[in-house]
Amino acid sequence: MRRIRPRRTPTAPLLAIFWTGPAAVLWLWWHNTPAVAATAADRMVNAGRITGLLAGWAIALVIAQMARIPALERRVGSDRAVRWHARTGRYALCLTLVHVVLTLYGYALQSDTGIREQTVSVVTGYPRMLEATAGTLILFLVGLVSVGAVRRRMRYELWYHLHLLTYAAVYLAFWHQLATGDEFVADAAARTAWYALYLTVGALVLWYRVLTPVRLNLRHRMRVDSVVQEAPGVVSVLIRGRRLHRLGAEAGHFFRWRFLAPGLRWSANPYSLSAPPRPDLLRITVKAVGGHSAALAGVRPGTRVWAEGPYGAMTAARRRRGKVLLIAGGAGITPLRALFETLPGAPGDLTLLYRARTADELALRDELEEIADARGARLLYAVNSPEGRRPTVTAKALRRILPDIARHDVYLCGPPGLAEESYAALREAGVPHRRIHHESFEF
């Protein structure tokens, strides 16, 4: 039971793919540039061509990172894939802006006209430039609403639907690359390769974001079985379906759930499994922190459920050591409760530290105590004092609880403040970064 075979993160192949693209587009530019330009105007235009090609590659990569490819979602981790997507998106927008500015400025120098006149001439006179301009403006709109300060003020559902405009923006901007790019106009092989790149990315999106969820939901026919109150503001939703064991779900996984009920059908939110999956039953436990999660308390039995997944990398496959500490806070108890029951281990190998403001907010408490008794595991609570004093997670406290904490794997799930505090304490206590397993659901 304690012999765990860790799953390695496929970072090296992904980084190779990431850097192969820029190398290929730079070679493409070099191949189609007989001589490096001598004048300032020509150098501007050439720099605009290079940044345009790099922006085209980065945008294709952004779309691929939105495709929810299992190798990323389950092995790298959804939160890490989202961070890669956000970072690549920023690179793509910066490269696009530099491409536009350098190209227009270079053309203006070549034709000895003002930048405003040259912009109007390019947008209205060059093939497919009106569509490209619209696509570029949409891309910058999506980039604006993805800025942290703006995003935090928006409802998740609004942000999500605005983010989907990225597909329309890419479609509109794609055609001008082939119609006006010197690398593609006279080079059929380059044009074919560019088509292949974007068609492959489009096929990944179609397969994993449309066809795979359709197949999953037609096959398993999930419906709400019941809704159970677990604690103030916390409910469990039990979902029945057919042959659910064939989903490949594990403790620690999450799905993106869409409940086909009024007010809920147009948004899909991520919730973790709060119990090991059964062949006919899945369970999620949700804390009311927003409109969607609060509305789940009123979902009626029999409501159709549309799910996408399973996703996430915080599973038993991440484990490297025999002993495990699980640190949960708030709604973060849901995936850790499932892991607490299913992680292989002998008596004394597993410890769960559960942080909450009050004892009433300790959701699933009875279940956790039953699991701890049955498995010989340790269950510890960190609850505010009657005066409201908050216990902090420190390296000293962790060493007092577990003197051999540095030889543990740690699964961590909770609010950002708890996650940051716990991570710092764990590192100070000697736990290596690679053995702290954390996944964030912040959008």
Q: Print burial letters for 11-34: b (CB count within 10 Å at least 16), e (below 16).
A: eeeeeeeeeebeeebeebbeebee
CATH ID of 221-311, from 2.40.30.10, 2.170.130.10, 3.40.50.170, 1.10.10.10: 2.40.30.10
Spatial CA neighbour of 135 closest among 26, 56, 50: 56
379, 352 contact by CB (below 8 A): yes
Which H helix or E strand runs over 106? Answer: helix 78-111
Nearest to 366 by CA among 393, 333, 342, 388: 333
Residue with the two structure tokens 């996944």 = 439
pLDDT at 186: 81
Residues 6+ apart with CB under 8 A from 45: 37, 102, 103, 106, 107, 110
* Token output for 372: 């701890």
Lookup: tokens for 187: 């080079």
> In angstroms, how far is CA 184 from the centroid of its own chain?
33
136 CB neighbour count, 10 Å cutoff? 21
pLDDT, residue 4, reads 39
Q: Taking the model in full, what pTM does it have? A: 0.82
Interatomic CA distance for residues 146 and 413, integer angstroms = 24
pLDDT of res. 442: 58
Torsion of CA 174, 179, 183, 186, to 10 degrees: 140
pLDDT computed for residue 175 by the predictor: 93
Topology classification of domain 316-438: Rossmann fold (3.40.50)
Domain boundaries, the chain: 11-216, 221-311, 316-438
- For domain 11-216, the CATH architecture is Up-down Bundle (1.20)
Helix (H) / strand (E) element for 324: namely strand 324-329
Q: What residue ranges of the chain have pLDDT lower than 50? A: 1-9
